[in-house]
Amino acid sequence: MATVVQIQSVSHTKENIETIKRTLASVANAIRVAREFYGLQLDVVFVYGDANEIPSFTNSDIELLKMSGAKELSFDYRILDRKTGFARGHNTLFSTAESRFIMTINPGMILSPDFFEHILNMFEESQTAIVEARKTPIETGKIYDPDSLETDYASMDCAVISSAVFEEMGGLDESFYCSDYDVDFSLRAKMSEYRVKYQPLSMVYCPAELSPNGKLVCTNEDRYYTALDDMLLAYKWASTRIVNSILRRFALSANKEEQRAAVDFKRMKSENRLPARSSVKSSPSRFKNGLYCKQRFKWPVEMRSMEA
Amino acid sequence: MQEHNPNTASILELLSDNQELLTSGTQSGEYFRWIWRICHDYTENPYQEEYIDNINEERSYSGKRPFLTIVMRTQGKRLSQLREALLCLWSQTNRDFELIIVGHKVADENRDVIQRVIQEQESAFRERIRYYEIDYGTRSAPLNYGFSHARGRYIANCDDDDTVTQDWVNELYERSLTAKNCLLHVYTVTQAWSEVDVNGAKAVRADDIPRPRYCRPFSQTIQLHQNLCPFFSIAFPAFLFNKLNIWFDEELDTTEDWDYIMRTSLLVGVSDIEKTPLVYRLWSNTDSSHTVNDEKAWNVFKVMIKNKHDTYPVLLKEGKSADIRAFYSDPIGYAKRINRQEKMIAGNNGYAELLRYIVKTMFNENSITYRICAGIYNSLFRKRGY
């Protein structure tokens, strides 16, 4: 019997059709390899959620996209509400899923041909909730156990999730906009005794830009939302002392985006728009040294404004 | 009226009218004689007939020629790394390239593995891949073999454990439009990596922050002393290999890249692209050319390379005489300055590392004390590039 997977991608920026065609072609090839080389039977639907102000693709573009992975997968294009965050976007796409697994992937990523063989095997252990793939060429420095492959949280930039667990957890917390919803999901899954894992053998190419001195380039907009989501995550999972410490750090930061995030966080708090807090005592989150999980290292980041 | 920007033809005409410049024994005469020798002599090589046959075979190829030929050496021993290298190549925004994989002294059990990894690729990628195998020679031999089969206008090496970002080929392509016929050089970060055993299979893991050791412009003078260009940071115009017959020295089992970069850069120069699309991985627990060849062998090859540097004239870029002046006027000061720059780029200043370690160990990052110390640390070291 075929394993059914719904792959879902949420986009906030206007994507080039060639970029999405390449993603689809790599998914189609990974499905072919899973069938021909590993004997896996996969039934895959790729759902693309477009949350742009003006839809990225025309009807003829969508027909071209449908043909990109024609033999191996079906393609579904959905318009989401403008400015829908990633968390709400994925929840919306999941609401119509009928698959055993869902897989999240950011637009523009390219799957390694042997991707499915390694990552789907991880679900043979019934308590596995989510498995994150390894990004290349920039691997994050978070720690994982090489034997059990368990880790503190799984990034949903590219991950496979058990649909049953996703539903049981009530999906993603829509308080988060573009990051940390995956950390929050992992923490909730762990509290329900599920396993959160990392599979270094399943690779996905994640587009990245390095500055001339080798730092990871990140836009001001990314920095704003990441800082805001970091504070929301701390508010939900960490002690008041840690929340205040992070808030103070952003408020006093030399970076204007972090300052703006701190101001907006205070406003959300005064308007009672923050997520409900978890019981800190039973929280599996760590929040040591300002980070929510142990890291082997952290790539240095360089900010770049959108105009640049 | 005097022409200030003469073209090559007018220079040659001028030289023929002033043959004193070409007299044997003059500096310019020797330089042109060196170029003449390069253009007319084959490198002494026991396999030269095979390489020439390959070059002629590819010369007669009538299909569409790509911008770039990427040559990849492999022994099929690093399966996970090979898959990753291919994934990075196929993720290029500019796919105007072909990939020549040269299996070198491949063990029987690894041959099928390499073929299978190629078969796993998308059909559009497979069409761009050619696989050859040779079972002779040093690490230079598969390079000569791969380069001799190139159809692209430029050739770059990418080993089976190298990783690149999506813009690598495009950065080279864009620059090739304006900097014609010279070597193209991009910046590279280094990063410590190791192999990890994952339920019986081998995976790889990044172990440390990246270091911008090779994020710097190409310097011919420093290159005379040490190689600061990872091999895949350079793309070579194909004519250097298949028209001028400048081949890799097959006596070298390591540092073959340094030798080749020097011989070609002295002839056609280098154009720097101030972008960093490459991650050069330094393996802590698996084979690389650094671990396969012991320190003694490395030093022998380094001496060989430096001796080779003395056998040809060196033409430096304008402005580089300042380096030489600085060295002769104050050798100790010059050495200190270079050493300081090295440390700033490598980010391995001992005091900075020690201070960072003490502060991190003693204080919580959220504490006021930590932030004060971090401020002092940043003002002392970070702004200076540590």
In A, minimum Cα distance to B116 occurs at: A37
- Cβ atoms A158, A109 nearer than 8 A: yes
Of the listed ranges A115-124, A159-168, B37-46, the least confidently predicted one is B37-46
Q: Which residue, among A76, A107, A105, has the nearest Cα to A12 in the 3D structure?
A: A107
SS3 A299: coil
Minimal Cβ distance to A213: which of B122, B204, B212: B212
CB contacts of A211 in chain B (<8 Å) are 276
- Cβ atoms B104, B75 nearer than 8 A: yes
pLDDT of the residue at B262: 92
Q: Which residues contact B260 (CB under 8 A, 6 or more apart)?
A: B143, B236, B246, B248, B249
**Could you write out the DSSP letters of every residue in B95-145?**
--EEEEEEEES--HHHHHHHHHHHHHS-HHHHTTEEEEEE--SSTTHHHHH
Residue A305 Cα, gap to closest chain B Cα (Å)? 18
Dihedrals phi, psi of A48, to nearest 5 degrees: -110, 115
CB contacts of A201 in chain B (<8 Å) are 80, 198, 201, 203
SS3 B254: coil
Mean pLDDT taken over chain B: 85
Residue B343 Cα, gap to closest chain A Cα (Å)? 14
Distance CA A133, CA A149 (A): 11
pLDDT of the residue at A81: 85
- Residue B102, judged by CB atoms within 10 A of its CB (0-12, 13-18, 19+), counts as buried
SS3 A136: strand
Of the listed ranges A33-47, A246-260, B4-18, the least confidently predicted one is B4-18
Distance CA B219, CA A175 (A): 52
- Chain B residues 293-352 within an 8 A CB cutoff of chain A: none
B242: its two tokens: 């298949």
- Does the pLDDT at position B56 exceed 50? yes
Summarised one tens digit per residue, pLDDT across range B217-268 is 998 888 888 899 999 999 999 999 999 889 999 988 888 999 999 999 988 9
Across B129-147, average pLDDT: 96
CB contacts of B121 in chain A (<8 Å) are 29, 113
Distance CA A289, CA A293 (A): 9
Residue B51 Cα, gap to closest chain A Cα (Å)? 34
Summarised one tens digit per residue, pLDDT across range A51-98 is 988 888 999 999 989 887 767 899 999 999 877 889 999 999 999 999
CB contacts of A26 in chain B (<8 Å) are 90, 122
B83: its two tokens: 């898959």
Cα B35–B41–B42 angle (5° rounding)?
A: 125
On whether any CB of chain B is under 8 Å from the CB of A136, the answer is yes
B231: its two tokens: 């091999």
Residue A191 Cα, gap to closest chain B Cα (Å)? 26
- Chain B residues 113-152 within an 8 A CB cutoff of chain A: 116, 120-122, 124
CA distances from B332 to A111, B193, B328, B337 (A): 53, 36, 9, 9
- Cβ atoms A245, B366 nearer than 8 A: yes
On whether any CB of chain A is under 8 Å from the CB of B187, the answer is yes
Higher pLDDT, B66 or B302: B66
Summarised one tens digit per residue, pLDDT across range A293-308 is 778 888 888 887 654 3
**Could you write out the DSSP letters of every residue in A76-121?**
EEEEPPTT--HHHHHHHHHTT--SSEEEEE-TT-EE-TTHHHHHHH
A200: its two tokens: 């270094």
Across A217-231, average pLDDT: 91
On whether any CB of chain B is under 8 Å from the CB of A296, the answer is yes
Widest pairwise Cα distance in chain B: 77
Summarised one tens digit per residue, pLDDT across range B4-38 is 667 777 877 887 788 777 777 787 888 888 887 77
- Cβ atoms B277, B172 nearer than 8 A: no
- Does the pLDDT at position A275 exceed 60? yes
- Chain B residues 1-20 within an 8 A CB cutoff of chain A: none
Summarised one tens digit per residue, pLDDT across range B100-131 is 999 999 999 999 999 999 999 999 999 999 99
B3: its two tokens: 């022409």
Of the listed ranges A142-146, A199-203, B318-322, B346-350, the least confidently predicted one is B346-350
B22: its two tokens: 């070409």
Higher pLDDT, A256 or B348: A256
CB contacts of B198 in chain A (<8 Å) are 146, 149, 199-201
| Residue recorded with tokens 């005489």 | B321
Q: What's the pLDDT band for B358 if we cut at 50, 70, 90?
A: low
- Does the pLDDT at position A22 exceed 90? yes
**Could you write out the DSSP letters of every residue in B15-69?**
HHH-GGGGSTTSHHHHHHHHHHHHHH-----TTHHHHHHHHHHHHT--SPPPSEE
Q: Do B163 and A149 touch (CB under 8 A)?
A: no
Q: Three-class SS string for A205-246?
A: ECCCCECCCCCEEEEHHHHHHHHHHHHHHHHHHCCHHHHHHH
CB contacts of A15 in chain B (<8 Å) are none
pLDDT of the residue at B383: 40
Q: Do B209 and A300 touch (CB under 8 A)?
A: yes
pLDDT of the residue at B382: 47
- Cβ atoms B47, B137 nearer than 8 A: yes
Higher pLDDT, B354 or B238: B238
Residue B342 Cα, gap to closest chain A Cα (Å)? 14
SS3 A47: strand
Distance CA A2, CA A6 (A): 13
Q: Which residue, among B205, B320, B328, has the nearest Cα to B266 in the 3D structure?
A: B320
Q: Strands of A73-79's sheet, edge to edge? A: A73-79, A42-50, A3-11, A101-105, A158-162, A128-136, A195-205, A110-111
Minimal Cβ distance to A112: which of B83, B207, B366: B83
On whether any CB of chain A is under 8 Å from the CB of B167, the answer is yes
Mean pLDDT taken over chain A: 91
Strand B270-283 with B163-164, pairing: antiparallel
- Residue A246, judged by CB atoms within 10 A of its CB (0-12, 13-18, 19+), counts as buried
Q: Do A203 and B87 touch (CB under 8 A)?
A: yes
Distance CA A81, CA A153 (A): 28
Distance CA A275, CA A173 (A): 8
CB contacts of B274 in chain A (<8 Å) are 212
Residue at A222: amino acid letter: D
On whether any CB of chain A is under 8 Å from the CB of B163, the answer is yes
Cα B339–B342–B345 angle (5° rounding)?
A: 150
- Residue A105 bridge partners (DSSP): A158
| A141 sits in which H/E element | none
For chain A, strand residue ranges (E) read: 3-11, 42-50, 73-79, 101-105, 110-111, 128-136, 158-162, 195-205, 216-219, 301-304
pLDDT of the residue at B51: 93
Distance CA A239, CA A164 (A): 31
Distance CA A93, CA A91 (A): 6
Residue B126 Cα, gap to closest chain A Cα (Å)? 12
